[in-house]
Structure formats: C-alpha cells, structure tokens
Structure 1
Amino acid sequence: MNKTEIPDSFPSDPSGAFSLAVDGMGGDGAPEVVVAGLAIAAERHRDLRVLLIGDEARLQPLLAKYPRAAAVCTVWHTDVSIPMDMKPTQALRQRQSSMRLAMDAVASGRAQGVVSAGNSGAMLALAKIVIKTLPGISRPAMAAISPTVKGDVVMLDLGANVVCDWRNLVEFAVMGEAFAKAVLGLPAPTIGLLNIGSEELKGDEKLRVAAEMLRESPLAAQFHGFVEGHDITAGTTDVVVTDGFTGNVALKTGEGVLKMATTLLRRVFQSSVLAKIGYLLVRPGLERMKEWLDPRRYNGAVFVGLNGVVVKSHGGTDAEGFAAAVDVAMDMVTHGFNDSIRERLSHMGALLSRQKVAEEREVAVPVS
C-alpha cells in the first residue's frame, strides 16, 4: 500500500468528504479531551463531520457520554498511537497510527483537514511526507494567532524552519495573509517583516530582498514594511512574518512575560489589606482581561503551505482549547484557505522567478 492509499474498510460519509480527520489518541488528555472538545465544536459548526481515529474500545464509551460529538463522528479503529516523546523518524514507520491514518485521509481526499493534539515533530514530519506541500511552496510553516492591544495578530513561522531565505519569507507572507483572511475574517490584512528596526537598511540581505519582492508583488498595498518586536503586541500589522528561530523565541518570550505579569499582579493584590480591597474593586476588569488573554482562545497552531488543512492543538489543552483548534480548522476549510494561497502564488510566480534568475546570474559571474 502506498502512503496515500486507503483500505476498503475506510469509513465513508454519505454527505461526501469528512470535514476533518481527528487524531483521537493524540495529546495528554486523549481521548476524553478530544471527544469533549468535539462536542463543544459540534454546537458551533452544524456542518461538522468528523472521522475520529483511534481505539474504538476507548472512544465509543466517551461518545455515549457526549451525544453531540457522537452525532458528528464516525469512528475508524486503530489501537496504534504515537507517544509524545517518539522521534519523528520512528513515527513515520508507524503506518497504522491514529495520526498517520488521519494524514492519509486528507491525502486521499476523504477528509479536508487534520486536527491533532499529539507529538508536534511527528505531526510535521507526517504532514510533509504524506500530505505534501502545495505547488509553489518550498517549505510549510507554523502559524498561530496571538492577542494584541488592537485585536489579534497572525505570526509565522513559529519553529518549523529555523533557517530561511528570502523566498521562504515571501511565501510565509502569502500564507499568513490567507490565514488572516480565513480565520480572522480580515478582507485585506496588513503584513510586516520582523526586523531589528523599521528602517529600510536594517536587517540582513534576505530580509531586504523579501521586502523588495513584497513591495513589487500583488500584496504591495498591504505590505507595511519592517516591524520590531514591540509591534507584535501593539498590533501594528495583522500578520508578522519571520524565520522559525526568531518566531519561536518571540512566542516563548511573550508567553513568559505574560506569566510574569500575572504572578506580579497576584503578589501586589496579596501584599496588604488595602491591596485586597483594591482587588475587589477592579476584579470585574481583571476577569475580562483574563478571558481576553485566555490561551485556550488561541489554541490551534497551523502548518500552512500543505495540500490540506493541518492544525496542531496544544498537547496539554482542555476540551475548550481543543474545540478552539477545531474552530480554526473549520474556518480554514470553509473559507478555502489553500485556494487563496494558490491564487496569490499564481500572480507572484513571474516575480519570484525573475529574482531567482537574477541571483543565479550573479553567482555565475566569475570574480576577476
């Protein structure tokens, strides 16, 4: 059997392709968190149809407990799962794992997207091998949504590609724009390239070439230029593009600052009787802020640039967080996320090819 073939026993959905193939065994709280999350998601998405893949003996009692999830799920049994600490190379050999079968379902066209809270490295490796990248995309990227003072921002790459060239950054901009349209509902998202300064001469060669390409592209009107670290939370642009190393550091730094701020606030309000009285006065506002910054709202990192929708839920999330990851996947499926990327790339093909040829000629010129 090749990697995109599906056995005759593959469950079918009378309405056509399943909306999503869900790894029922991925994540710290699986399978209960997965099924409970699907029950919440079923309330929000009336057209949700799920191929739930995992150990039927464990899934069926949970579906009986959550009838709303049962109404939208078809179970495909496998008792093989990928542990959170398994190396990607080992995961690729587990051809009957719940994560692999979910990928196979998308690669064969039986489902439109995958959601898993499982092993991140294994998920990326399987997605690249089984689902493959879109034509014109050299590397998939990891994208996610973060809060800002103005609303939300899409950031990518967040760790899938440590080293990038200018072409990767331009592709990330195209994918980030499509993601912001599909998930945030923005008609013309603004785009910024993360740099050490906003001036045109700042940064290395790859950043300057990527900026030049975007200024000449169909995205020119939406391209803001270079942005700095503080612009991420300020909401200066709707999309922030960077390489995976810098993006991951920025993401983890932001998470750390938020935890520190929460800890310091708790100390302040516990420091005296007056501080405790002050807490009671401001508590309603703090509760609203807590809800706004709730990480479960932003659960659901996406591997963009693939021939299908692939959403990675945080492994330690709860049911509400898993439902948020399903929300992201459904938004992308419903709004034709990949079609938008294909359309943009078709309009940028000549521009990217011209720059590549110019670089090849420059390399070919002998040094005197």
Structure 2
Amino acid sequence: MIRISLDVMGGDFGPEVVIPGAAKALERHPDVTFLLFGQQERCMPILEKFSKLKEKSTFHHCEVAVGMDEKPSQALRRGRYISSMWRSIEAVKTGQADVVVSAGNTGALMAMSKFCLRTMATIERPAIAAIWPTLSGESIVLDVGATIGADAQQLLDFALMGGAMARALFEVERPLVGLLNVGVEEIKGQEEVKEAGRLIREAGLDTIDYYGFVEGDDLGKGTVDVVVTEGFTGNIALKTAEGTARQIAEYLKAAMSRTLLAKLGYILAKGAFDRLREKMDPRKVNGGVFLGLNGIVIKSHGGTDAEGFAAAIDVGYDMARNGLTQKIENDLKKYHARRPSSAGPEAA
C-alpha cells in the first residue's frame, strides 16, 4: 500500500484539479491511499463527487493555503505548521505518507521541504529532476531550477541522485549519465563542469556509467538516461523545450486548417497526428522530483489539469514503490566510503 499526501490547495486551481487528478490516479493505482490537506469548505463538495477516492482518503482541514505569488520566506512565516503545504510535507516526515505531491508555489515548496525534511547528510543542495521525453523514450534532467550555479562536487552529487532516480523510474541497473556542456571535447566548457567530469571518472562509481559530456541536442535524442547540469541552465532548457512543443503544436494546427485540401489531409492522417499530440503533451511528463531530501517530494506544474496532476501522482507512486530515498542514500554511502578524504578527519 502506497500512501500519498496531497497539498489540495496548491496550484492555480487547487481542489478543482487536485481532487479529480487524484481520482484518475486511483483508477490506475488501486493500492494507493491518500491523505488530503486543504480547506474543508472548498474541498469537501468536490470530494463528495468521487466516492471511490473518498473511501481511500483521509481529509485534514487546514486554514491556510500558500499563494502562488508568495515569497518563500513569507510562506514559511505565515504557513509553517498550519498550511496545507506544510502539513502535507510533514506527513512524510512523520511516516504517515510515503510521498507528497503539490502543484503549489515552487519556491515555497522547496523552502518548506528543506526546513521540514532536511537534506541528506552529505548533500549541500537539493535538485529538481524532470522527466524528459526523447526520441528513444524518456530521460531525466537535473537540476531544472533548485540550485542556481553548482560546483563540481554538487554536480557529482546530482549525477548520483539522478542515477538512483533512473534506477527507480526506468528500472535500469546502471544508468548512462552525461554532463551537459557546450561541446563533447574534454577541453571545452566551464571549469566546474570539466572538474565534475574528472571527479566522476575517478570516483569509480558502480551504480552509474559515465558517458562524458553531452550537448543541448542530446536532450531530445535520448543519448543518455540522465543529463546533469546546474539549475539556471536546466530551467532555461526546460522552459525552452515546453515552449517549442507548444509552438510546433500551433504551427501544425494552423497548417491543417489553412485550406480544404489540408483539412482533408488531416482527416486521413488523424491517427498519426493523434500519436504526435500524445507524444508532445507536456501533461504526460508532469512531475518534478525534489532530490537530496529525507523524503520524496513531487512538484506538479501549477497550471496543469487533472490529467497532468494524475501524471505527477504517477511519478510519486513509482518513486515510493521503488524506494528512491533508500537508493540515493545507499549510493551516497558507497561513494563517500570510497573517498580517501571521508576517513581522514574522523581518523585524526
């Protein structure tokens, strides 16, 4: 039984999307139970429409809902201990839930998650990992916004955490990991990226296979299972990809409605266009995973619909079922046990 905690008030639409999304996810995962945190007067009338979900859920009233435009510090001061966001995260900390999913304010969710769950012992900064559709299937890209700027050691940590997520999500024994760079040659790129490549090669990691440097076009090709970068670059890449997908969709829509012959061609090729639309649908890969915390936190797009929120729950379900947190902890322990410096201060 997987227990999933939901911040029902999070996102642009709150319970109007979260509750129907949870009902869709329950259809796919009958072994799930939900802990719902939100304002009773808004949530209960909607929950009453989904009898199966209501049977598999416990509802917890929360007076405060964190606004999408609140600063993280403001959200912490106003919503600590009493908001739907905080209490849904706290359910993971206390062991009542295996994973929390929220479509709320990203900065506030990260701040509350770090404050409530804390980062793992050897992790300086957490990362947000996104699932990326590729020509060969899917890959993982991190960080896409949590850490702006990262040193070589942090990039190595991201590689380990991304590899653990790939094993949990794709069930790959040794994920192929690459560092995003301006070229594949070892002499190119920022010093931190080149140093990170050296550290990963010399670490002798047995949980991942290091591919080397990858470039921007490798993201869509699916050259590797995990692409590692820092949050500034990763976030720009993510937003660019989402915008390009919408742009292509609009181009196709305009082209198919321009002439009678084009409309006829669309009808004849509708099956192919439907498959293309399905592949390009950002809702299908919704759900960023906060890595490096003592618990699993999933961030859904704030403006998604019920189908998109259900997809975020799907990601959380897979991460909990396959033991993401334990995999990351084990991989970090293996790495630090091999580092000569890790035994030095203690021995002294």
After TM superposition, give the deviation of residue 254 of structure 1 in Å: 1.2
After TM superposition, give the deviation of residue 269 of structure 1 in Å: 2.3
Greater shift after overlay, 276-285 or 304-313? 276-285
Structure index of larger Rg = 1
Contact 1:36 1:69 in 2 (8 A): no
Aligned with residue 347 of structure 1, among 328, 334, 340: 334
Distance in structure 1 (CA, Å) of the matches to 2:255 and 2:42: 46
Partner of 1:112 in structure 2? Answer: 98
Contact 1:190 1:237 in 2 (8 A): yes
> CA offsets per residue over residues 286-309 of structure 1, 9 Å max, x none?
101111221111111111110000
Letter in 2 for 1:161: T
Contact 1:43 1:68 in 2 (8 A): no
Query: Are positions 1:244 and 2:227 aligned together?
Result: no
Partner of 2:10 in structure 1? Answer: 26
Alignment of 1:67-146 (within 5 A): 67-93=51-77, 94-95=79-80, 96-146=82-132
After TM superposition, give the deviation of residue 226 of structure 1 in Å: 0.3
Query: Are positions 1:286 and 2:270 aligned together?
Result: no
Aligned residue pairs total 341
Query: Are positions 1:51 and 2:35 aligned together?
Result: yes
> CA offsets per residue over residues 166-219 of structure 1, 9 Å max, x none?
011111111111111212232322111000001111112211221122223314
SS at match of 1:160: coil
> CA offsets per residue over residues 308-366 of structure 1, 9 Å max, x none?
00001111111111111111111111111011111111111145564999xxxxxxxxx
Contact 2:166 2:175 in 1 (8 A): yes
> CA offsets per residue over residues 89-121 of structure 1, 9 Å max, x none?
011112200001112222222222111111111
Alignment of 1:5-20 (within 5 A): 19-20=3-4
Contact 1:141 1:161 in 2 (8 A): yes
SS at match of 2:88: helix
Contact 1:214 1:220 in 2 (8 A): no
Distance 1:353 1:92, change over 3 A: farther
SS at match of 1:49: strand
Letter in 2 for 1:309: I
Aligned with residue 62 of structure 1, among 46, 60, 78: 46
Contact 2:174 2:207 in 1 (8 A): no
Greater shift after overlay, 178-187 or 35-44? 178-187
Contact 1:157 1:172 in 2 (8 A): yes
Letter in 2 for 1:59: C
After TM superposition, give the deviation of residue 276 of structure 1 in Å: 2.4
Distance 1:162 1:21, change over 3 A: same
Partner of 1:42 in structure 2? Answer: 26
Letter in 2 for 1:266: K
Distance in structure 2 (CA, Å) of the matches to 1:197 and 1:352: 29
Distance in structure 1 (CA, Å) of the matches to 2:188 and 2:228: 15
Query: Are positions 1:328 and 2:315 aligned together?
Result: yes
Distance in structure 1 (CA, Å) of the matches to 2:276 and 2:101: 28
After TM superposition, give the deviation of residue 48 of structure 1 in Å: 1.0
Distance in structure 2 (CA, Å) of the matches to 1:355 and 1:226: 27
Partner of 1:4 in structure 2? Answer: none
Greater shift after overlay, 102-111 or 188-197? 102-111
Contact 2:175 2:208 in 1 (8 A): no
SS at match of 1:236: coil
SS at match of 1:317: coil
Letter in 1 for 2:293: L
Letter in 1 for 2:188: K
Contact 1:37 1:320 in 2 (8 A): yes
Distance in structure 2 (CA, Å) of the matches to 1:36 and 1:260: 28
TM-score by length of 1: 0.88
Partner of 1:209 in structure 2? Answer: 195
Distance in structure 2 (CA, Å) of the matches to 1:293 and 1:267: 17
Letter in 1 for 2:70: M
Partner of 1:319 in structure 2? Answer: 306
> Quick one: percent identity of the two aligned structures?
46
After TM superposition, give the deviation of residue 61 of structure 1 in Å: 2.2
SS at match of 2:297: strand
Distance in structure 1 (CA, Å) of the matches to 2:250 and 2:30: 40
Contact 1:167 1:352 in 2 (8 A): no
Partner of 1:269 in structure 2? Answer: 256
Distance in structure 2 (CA, Å) of the matches to 1:221 and 1:118: 33
Uncovered stretches (5+) of structure 2, i.e. residues with no partner = none
Partner of 1:194 in structure 2? Answer: 180
Letter in 2 for 1:101: R
